[in-house]
Structure 1
Amino acid sequence: MDAVAMFPLGSVLFPYTPVALRVFEPRYLTMMGRLLDEEDPEFGIVLIERGLEAGGGDQRSPVGTMARILQIEAGAEDLYVVAVGGERISVDRWREDDPYPIAEVSIIPSLVWDDALEPLRREAERVVRRIATLASILGEGRWDPDAPLSDDPVESSWQLAAIAPLGEYDRFRLLTSTRLGGLLRALIDLSLEEEPVLIARAADAREGDDDDPR
């Protein structure tokens, strides 16, 4: 690909999943203005490994996702942008900001579905929805645990990765998967590792409620 506009974030964007952004920095307002001149505006999102989203000077991950703009609404001094994840990208080289980040990227091949993976995909959905429900009860879920999935098995696998209540490092590991079976197995394993942590938090919350004299 040619050089593309980039929007480093403190979170991972998976293919086939939506992202909502509040854009307020002048450099990114300029970026969105330029993108809107394009027929099919899109930009790249990569995870900030160290540093802050605002102000620059961050350290960025080498793998990200293209985001296609679906909707933009203008506020008084900012923009609200809704986009959806597309192809995964590998950053080959960062260019000088103009005034926003720009990178030369390569497309990462899409993961390939095999019907033999369907039992594993169903197991991943069962585990993820159960643990995402627990996270939601604790007020820690970022997605509705009952959110509908695409009928396409590749798309639904990425959507399950988005629903899973995992930290950004684990989410980045999933993003770099080279095989769909590996993605699903890692998704199950990481979710099961998170389950006892959430159960312990739920138990602590119940004990706190029992100790409340009110």
Structure 2
Amino acid sequence: MKTLPVFPLNTVLFPDGLLPLRIFETRYIDMVRECMRGGGDGFVVVRIGQGSETSPAAEFAALGTRAEIIDWEQRPDGLLGILACGRERVRILGHRQRPDGLILGDTESVPEWPALDLPLEYASLAGLLERLLDQLGTPWSHLERRLQDSAWVAGRLIELLPLELDIKQSLLEEDDPLERLRRLRAAMLRTPDP
């Protein structure tokens, strides 16, 4: 079990996914400083259930993704910009709040299935993902592409497509990468075009 800072957001991050963030709250600036100074284990990105991203009393999901900071910049607007990369799914067993409002969670890793090749019936999803990554530009266009890995393809599509957050969270909680792909495709067929 590891104690890690928890960052509740209105998003769902998967292992190997990228998440650019603008940091402006003092508690998260301190968190970034601690992560970068200690070279520690990063922080947990977890989906907010109720409340807002700036609320210290936000309720959040019990399963999230441990992320590490892989790049940072001082933005022209004076805010700190970071690029985080998802590393592994974690379950939050309990949490507490520091006086500065930062949430600390007691976490355990959630085992991943062994890598599974993308079945032929889902090849069109890999093609869609490749086009999306090319269109999005930096930093996504520079990702090492694992278009034959079922979990990698599903994770990137779930992050990038305009699916409801409840669906994204339930897909993060799905352990079987092939079932995740099946459920993703079903959700895509139900989602109207923007």
1:112 aligns with 2:114: yes
SS in 2 for 1:83: strand
1:191 paired residue number: 188
The CA deviation at 1:41 is 5.1
Letter in 2 for 1:173: S
1:140 paired residue number: none
SS in 2 for 1:13: coil
1:171 paired residue number: 168
2:94 paired residue number: 93
Go from structure 1 to structure 2 and tell me whether the alpha carbon gap of 1:19 and 1:114 turns closer, same or farther (over 3 Å shift): closer
Supply the distance in 2 between the matched residues of 1:98 and 1:3 (Cα, whole angstroms). Answer: 16
SS in 2 for 1:166: coil
Q: Which has the larger radius of gyration?
A: 1
Q: Is the 8 A contact 2:12 2:169 kept in 1?
A: yes
The within-5 A match list for 1:16-31 is 16-31=16-31
Deviations 1:119-169 (A, max 9, x none): 24324435x55xx97xxxxxxxxx749967424503233212223321111
TM-score normalised according to structure 1 size: 0.76
- Name the Cα RMSD after superposition: 2.6
Out of 157, 160, 167, which is 1:160 matched to?
157
Deviations 1:21-41 (A, max 9, x none): 111111111111111112255
Aligned-pair identity in percent equals: 23
Supply the distance in 1 between the matched residues of 2:121 and 2:112 (Cα, whole angstroms). Answer: 19
Alignment length, in residue pairs? 185
SS in 1 for 2:33: helix
Supply the distance in 1 between the matched residues of 2:161 and 2:171 (Cα, whole angstroms). Answer: 11
Letter in 1 for 2:122: R
Supply the distance in 2 between the matched residues of 1:112 and 1:187 (Cα, whole angstroms). Answer: 19
Question: After TM superposition, where is structure 1 displaced by more than 6 Å over at least 4 residues in a row?
Answer: none
Q: Is the 8 A contact 1:124 1:185 kept in 2?
A: no
SS in 1 for 2:54: coil
Unaligned regions of 5+ residues in structure 1, if any? 134-142, 202-214
The CA deviation at 1:94 is 0.6
The structure in which a higher percent of residues are strand is 2
Q: Is the 8 A contact 1:7 1:46 kept in 2?
A: yes
Supply the distance in 2 between the matched residues of 1:163 and 1:15 (Cα, whole angstroms). Answer: 14
Deviations 1:5-26 (A, max 9, x none): 1111011111111001111111
The within-5 A match list for 1:10-21 is 10-21=10-21
Unaligned regions of 5+ residues in structure 2, if any? none
Moved more, 145-154 or 103-112: 145-154
